[in-house]
Amino acid sequence: MATFAYVGRSKSGSVKKGELSAKTRDEAVEQLRKQNVVVTSLEEKQAGGGFKLSFGSGLSDKDLVVFTRQFGTMINAGLPLIQCLEILSTQSENAALRKAVGEVKVQVEGGATFSDSLKRHPKIFDDLYVNMVHAGEVGGLLDTILSRLSKHIEKAMKLKGQIKSAMVYPAAICGIAVIVITVLMIWVIPVFEKMFKEMSGGKMALPGPTQLVIDMSNFVQGNWYLILGAIVGLVIGIKKYYGTPQGRLAIDKFLLKVPVFGDLIRKASVAKFTRTLGTLISSGVPLLEALTICAKTSGNKVVEGALLDARVSISGGKTISEPLAKSGTFPKMVTHMIAVGESTGALDNMLGKIADFYEEEVDQAVASLTALLEPMMMVFLGVTIGFIVIAMYLPIFTMASAIG
């Protein structure tokens, strides 16, 4: 029996925390579900009191898209499930995926359902994937569901790529600026300082900007290990804090309020949530289960809390749009369109339209952000390096004027 530490929400919306013993994660989740607790965080504890380290599966979204599309094509062509798994387990380029598919094939041959076999590999196939496959099995539409899944993963991959492209440019410029300034401070400015001392015999009073830059250079040279340690400590501290439920909620709230970036994150969250929920509902996954999956895969604690509150509201007989509107997390247009979708019985179609609109909004936001940041970063880099260069040449200009 393993011990699991959990964080969840009751039907009333209150936060529940504690520990329980179970053989597997699935059994732990089932125990909490029987207690009417919706799990938001579940970690297996080691005997020493620590937590097991969780490493990535080594599987990219592209690998999963190719696998899913090929699988759907084979099923649509009439190939038996076992034969499809046999082919895919040998031809996949990803080692982790090959191993997982091979194990799934063995489990299916042993009498397990396809979706239950996938569930045993959570690092490869998440809740969204497993539930959609289960709906396809039950409805006899596995090929259609797999095709829909591949399209969904492609759209999610595109959205993730847009967010990364928006973050990469400023990060690259800042990195270059740090490297250039560090090189100047440690290797270039000391040469100028030595030259000034030799030219004036150490008696020349340097201009204020020059002295400031030299003092900064001396500080960096004498305390570089402290500066590096402080940066590493800050990064580790933020990461540790973000790993706690309270820290993640606080940081996610802050990110949503950051000018420009916050708007981009909000739009991306709306696009991801509506696309995922629409795909799940149209595939036959029950609404309450679909909301739980959307909450787990939202990537933002603020959005996750709003979706879990909506789940509690629906289980109490209310609509999904009411709690989403009260949360203040989603734009009014989104909640109004969801309300219209609920009233007309076309919620999945309406969610798809919202997702299409906000994916285009993310495109425009990324383009606007890049256009805004490019001149700002260039000006920052030019002013900083220009100030250092001018400060170093001021004494030379002063001496040249004196000689003239």
Instruction: Please indicate, yes or no, whether residues 67 and 37 belong to a single structural domain of this protein.
Output: no
What domain count does the chain have? 3
Predicted pLDDT at 336: 93
Predicted pLDDT at 192: 87
Residue that has been written with the tokens 């620590």 in this structure: 50
Domain that residue 268 falls in: 152-403
Is 144 contained in some domain?
A: no
Instruction: Please indicate, yes or no, whether residues 178 and 295 belong to a single structural domain of this protein.
Output: yes
pLDDT above 90: residue 243: no
Nearest to 255 by CA among 271, 269, 276: 269
Residues sharing a CB contact under 8 Å with residue 361, sequence separation 6 or more, in sequence order:
267, 271
Instruction: Please indicate, yes or no, whether residues 304 and 175 belong to a single structural domain of this protein.
Output: yes
The pLDDT tens digits for 365-396 are: 888 887 888 788 888 888 988 899 899 888 88
Is 55 contained in some domain?
A: no
Instruction: Please indicate, yes or no, whether residues 116 and 198 belong to a single structural domain of this protein.
Output: no
Q: How does residue 50 score in pLDDT terms, banded at 50, 70 and 90?
A: very low
Is 50 contained in some domain?
A: no
The pLDDT tens digits for 170-191 are: 788 888 888 888 888 889 899 8
Q: Which residues pair with 6 in a beta bridge?
A: 18, 42
Give the chain's radius of gyration (CA, Å). Answer: 28
CATH number of the domain residue 117 falls in: 1.20.81.30
- 39 torsion bin: left (phi>0), alpha (psi -120 to 50), beta (else): beta
Q: With pLDDT > 70 as the criterion, what percentage of the chain qualifies?
A: 91
Instruction: Please indicate, yes or no, whether residues 291 and 386 belong to a single structural domain of this protein.
Output: yes
Is 385 contained in some domain?
A: yes
Q: What is the mean pLDDT of residues 1-23?
A: 74
Instruction: Please indicate, yes or no, whether residues 178 and 259 belong to a single structural domain of this protein.
Output: yes
Helix/strand/coil (H, E, C) string of 265-284? Answer: HHHHHHHHHHHHHHHHHHCC
Residue that has been written with the tokens 């300082």 in this structure: 193
Predicted pLDDT at 53: 34
Helix/strand/coil (H, E, C) string of 187-235? Answer: HHHHHHHHHHHHHHCCCCCCCHHHHHHHHHHHHHHHHHHHHHHHHHHHH
Cβ neighbours around 387 below 10 Å, total: 13
How would you list the strands of the sheet with 15-22, edge to edge?
A: 15-22, 2-9, 38-45
DSSP string covering 14-39? -EEEEEEEESSHHHHHHHHHHTT-EE
The pLDDT tens digits for 312-345 are: 888 888 888 888 888 888 999 999 999 999 888 8
| Tokens of residue 197, six digits | 């001392």
Side-chain-facing half-sphere of 382: CA atoms under 13 Å: 6
Instruction: Please indicate, yes or no, whether residues 81 and 33 belong to a single structural domain of this protein.
Output: no
Is 53 contained in some domain?
A: no
DSSP string covering 93-149? S-HHHHHHHHHHHHHHHTT--HHHHHHT-TTTS-HHHHHHHHHHHHHT-HHHHHHHH
The pLDDT tens digits for 258-279 are: 888 888 889 999 999 999 999 9
Q: Note whether 391 and 212 are within 8 A (CB).
A: yes
Is 136 contained in some domain?
A: no
| Tokens of residue 238, six digits | 């933020």
Instruction: Please indicate, yes or no, whether residues 278 and 383 belong to a single structural domain of this protein.
Output: yes
Cα–Cα distance measured from residue 109 to residue 291, given in angstroms and rounded to the nearest whole number: 32
Q: With pLDDT > 90 as the criterion, what percentage of the chain qualifies?
A: 22
Q: How does residue 58 score in pLDDT terms, banded at 50, 70 and 90?
A: low
Instruction: Please indicate, yes or no, whether residues 16 and 121 belong to a single structural domain of this protein.
Output: no
Cβ neighbours around 365 below 10 Å, total: 22
Nearest to 393 by CA among 176, 178, 195, 186: 195
